[in-house]
A and B are shown apart, each in its own frame.
Chain A
């Protein structure tokens, strides 16, 4: 990973959790899949490193926002799939609202100032 890309891909603190939760709204997914979804949805701007992805996944699982189960991947391998829980869904709505408010506020500042 180059310096340029890294600076582009850096996530604002706390937003990774939101992105993970959001990416799971489409259904259950394994860690690699989650990273892919985020990468593709952001037109490859956001690259989630494994070093932050997995600790985040496990933290979210311990918090009870996502659940996990083992299953077969599309290429017939044993993989750990994560799924959004009801609590997680509520949390996502809350964080998304927050994010929207924050983004609007930042945009406003950038336009007027």
Chain B
């Protein structure tokens, strides 16, 4: 230790150490000289070697060597600022976008539910084909709970949105999970405050209770510990708060409240979703097998009700968070990985090109005694220095990129729980990528240079050097590789661009400007009958309509981006189809002025009036797609058909109006869906959307709308108060984000690939200056030279395209979930991408070619 400290001090005072050593040896020499009268120098031997020998004892040789290498590398890189800047920029872009995407994807996929051993939690699906949980009946739940051996405990839940009101603040709308009392036990989570649900809470007649999320407790009640026992109103039913769940608990995401399952959910109709924890040591496969056996037994027992039933089991995580779209996320990660690979290939290419010019320098170093290991180390230090600075710059790119992504994705369907701040994972990843790229692009050229043939390189004056032939070949391969990756990225960008154009070009069919929308949910406790619903909404509509600045108000069951229920229909005069081959159509419930508010022209017939639907008057309005499908070439007015959920009483509906198609789904706006509209009075809904056409900017009407709603019922929350333009922007936001993302990737990739190609061609031209000079001297024309240079570059582009075209067709297949109105392998996108690459290639060759034809044979032959 003492010894280490002494050496450390010596390291700190290196100049002092050197001076002392020199003094000490000189003193000895002088004493000797005095003794021998002038002959001392000779007797002394080699003072420099002795100095070095003593010095090495004190010094940490490797640290000094490293320090020397770093200084040397800095100097070398500083001497070629162009090279250094290009390399650092290319890598910084590559690393930066990678870190952004890594952060986004990892925060999207590694979503913490706060549930213990989440991967052991499974959902039982009635249809194995569907990823989503599908409701079961209470009886099925009971049967399965008793029969399943491979599930430790089985719980049932049903999500809902509820109105929340109390004396603390304005009413709010929250996501609630009604759950069997054992739900938290199955999830393995205990409340941080209060008690868990018990079996008594589930009994009929038990006091109504509710459990809060930590988030809600914090935000609305300021973590008030005396909250327990307080009574609040959930959908206007009084409930007692019995506990608060831990802060991390997100089960499922965005759930703010939990209540026991109400007894009215225990009927025969499928209403609950089942989840359970796999028993110890049981694999998902064996649990699936058991569920299959039980399903088959059910089918044998009651073939009528269980016909065609497939019971399946999925990990709970599969239906959670962004898991269902992980294919798309993986595509994005691959895309951005390609960008980094291209950047690395570029840098490797530049390093290779430098090999030739540095061969002589290295040879001289080896000739005067540097070991090859030392040369290798020095070159590697250079690479790591480059990638390290690129990493720092990349970090800045990443921070900026994340800010942009966060801002850009606000207007999308992105889940609220995604946290886009840079985390330690991302930083660790960034560091790893920086060092990793440094080593990966540094090793090959460093090995190559360290193996340089000293004799040849010195003789050659650094021209042929370092097996320049194989260097050129390797550089060529790298360029082809870049072109292939670039091709894939460009086609991906082309597809998303076409898809976004389709999305934005798709006509909505309504006039979206100056429309304000607001969700209203009327709880059953206060509005038990249809008459209550209708009269409240009519009153609200009247009040809103009388506000200054409001032109017309109406109601619709679901806004364009929302869920639309599909039910089977039967045309008059058509034979009843068997249940497996029924035709389905989506249906919306609208109030009288809906088409006026949306400014949709009526093609034929009339719109609904106040009396439609009352007393069973069977009026219906259909859109043109439905009319064309049901009665091609005929006038739909006066036609009859039946439409209803299965098992419900059906009435004959009479078509009274025909409207043009209105876009209901912005994610896939090209799928023009047949649609029918039912009068509000015929099918009153608890949850409706108010739509109002205003004569002033709609956002200025928000506050008056809130006031009017809560003047009528102070317990009603204001939910999703947005302009229609905002709603539409949100529906289209995904497309916009993906298009920007892929365009940025492809743009960066193109730039990098172009730089790579240009670098290789330009370098080869400069290497062949003498050859070009000879060719011109013996009568070669400028055309010959240009052809020579272009062939050098374009050959690689063409090979790259030959590999990249089919690959792009295959790889972009993973994007199909994103694409609207365009399929992977779309010829326009592929040829577009290829053309862009060819253009970039020609541009990359043109500059070196110009330089080549300007070569003066006399100068070229004399040079060096």
- Is there a chain B Cβ closer than 8 Å to A99's Cβ? no
- Is there a chain A Cβ closer than 8 Å to B13's Cβ? no
- Give the bracket for the number of chain B residues in contact with chain A: 20 to 34
Task: Return the chain A residue nearest B49 by Cβ.
Answer: A51
Asked if residues A80 and B2 are in contact (CB atoms below 8 Å), the reply is no
Give every chain B residue within 8 A of A73 (Cβ-Cβ): 27
Among the listed stretches A13-21, A52-60, A88-96, A104-112, which one makes contact with chain B, having 4 or more residues with CB under 8 Å of it? Answer: A52-60
Asked if residues B6 and A80 are in contact (CB atoms below 8 Å), the reply is no
Among the listed stretches B50-58, B417-425, B632-640, which one makes contact with chain A, having 4 or more residues with CB under 8 Å of it? Answer: B50-58
- Is there a chain B Cβ closer than 8 Å to A49's Cβ? yes
Number of A-B contacts (CB under 8 A): 58
- Is there a chain B Cβ closer than 8 Å to A31's Cβ? yes
A55-B54, A73-B27, A80-B27 known; A49 vs B45 contact (CB < 8 Å):
yes
The answer for the CA separation of A73 and B46 in the assembled complex, in Å, is 24
Asked if residues A50 and B50 are in contact (CB atoms below 8 Å), the reply is yes
Can you give 10 A-B contacts (C-beta < 8 A)?
Answer: A30-B24, A31-B27, A32-B28, A32-B31, A50-B25, A50-B28, A50-B44, A50-B45, A55-B53, A62-B3
The answer for the CA separation of A64 and B28 in the assembled complex, in Å, is 23
Task: Return the chain B residue nearest A49 by Cβ.
Answer: B45
A11–chain B nearest beta-carbon distance, Å: 17
- Is there a chain A Cβ closer than 8 Å to B7's Cβ? yes
Q: Tell me the chain B residues, 1-37 only, with Cβ under 8 Å from chain A.
A: 2-3, 6-7, 20, 23-25, 27-28, 30-32, 34
The answer for the CA separation of A62 and B57 in the assembled complex, in Å, is 8
- Is there a chain B Cβ closer than 8 Å to A77's Cβ? yes
Name A residues whose Cβ lies closer than 8 Å to a Cβ of B.
Answer: 1, 30-32, 49-51, 54-55, 58-59, 61-64, 70, 73, 75, 77-80
Give every chain B residue within 8 A of A63 (Cβ-Cβ): 3
> Which of B2, B27, B58 meets A77, CB within 8 Å?
B27
The answer for the CA separation of A79 and B3 in the assembled complex, in Å, is 23
Asked if residues B54 and A80 are in contact (CB atoms below 8 Å), the reply is no
Give every chain B residue within 8 A of A62 (Cβ-Cβ): 3, 6-7, 57-58
Task: Return the chain B residue nearest A78 by Cβ.
Answer: B23
B51–chain A nearest beta-carbon distance, Å: 9
Name B residues whose Cβ lies closer than 8 Å to a Cβ of A.
Answer: 2-3, 6-7, 20, 23-25, 27-28, 30-32, 34, 43-46, 49-50, 53-54, 57-58
B35–chain A nearest beta-carbon distance, Å: 9
Asked if residues B27 and A30 are in contact (CB atoms below 8 Å), the reply is yes
Give every chain A residue within 8 A of B50 (Cβ-Cβ): 50-51, 54-55
B131–chain A nearest beta-carbon distance, Å: 70
> Which of B6, B7, B27, B53 meets A79, CB within 8 Å?
B27
A60–chain B nearest beta-carbon distance, Å: 10
Give every chain B residue within 8 A of A80 (Cβ-Cβ): 20, 23-24, 27
Nearest 3 pairs between A and B by C-beta?
A: A32-B31, A80-B24, A58-B54
Give every chain A residue within 8 A of B46 (Cβ-Cβ): 51
Give every chain A residue within 8 A of B23 (Cβ-Cβ): 78, 80
A86–chain B nearest beta-carbon distance, Å: 13
Asked if residues A58 and B57 are in contact (CB atoms below 8 Å), the reply is yes
A50-B50, A63-B3 known; A32 vs B57 contact (CB < 8 Å):
no
Give every chain A residue within 8 A of B53 (Cβ-Cβ): 51, 54-55
